[in-house]
Amino acid sequence: AERYSLALEFVRFDWAHCDYYLQTGAMMPADWRAQLEGFDALYFGAVGWPAKVPDHVSLWGSLLKFRREFDQYVNLRPVRLFEGVPCPLANRKPGDIDFFVGARVTPRGKYTSLGGRIVRGHGAR
């Protein structure tokens, strides 16, 4: 963002993680969608902690809800080399590696709740 003079504002929400689930019995509060609707973009990191909460609970209780409710289907995977982290890419330094590993488009299966349709009321599948 800085490189392109793009100003970003981040708002952190203290839910959609496994500790929240252990405290409340839900991954997110009932009004989660209303809390997020005014934002232009959502940045959501990793989800899950199988030692504490079964994967299907954390996945279906947060990430898949975001994707379904906001019609999201692209899953970008950034790759970056960090200082002090062992890596099989020998003789590289921070800055040498900074790219996305493709875009995984997933508009079907568990990523849609529309019975095979991507958009309700539309012929798209």
The answer to whether residues 107 and 118 touch, using CB atoms and an 8 Å cutoff, is yes
For the stretch 57-60, contacts whose Cβ atoms lie closer than 8 Å and that sit 24 or more positions apart, written own/partner, are 57/21, 57/27, 58/18, 58/21, 58/27, 60/110
Q: What is the pTM of this model?
A: 0.65
Give the CA angle between residues 94, 98, 100 to the nearest 5°: 155
Q: What is the pLDDT of residues 16-47, one digit of tens each?
A: 999 999 999 999 999 999 999 999 888 887 88
Q: Name the band, by pLDDT with cuts 50, 70 and 90, for residue 61.
A: very high
| Cα-only R_g, the chain | 18
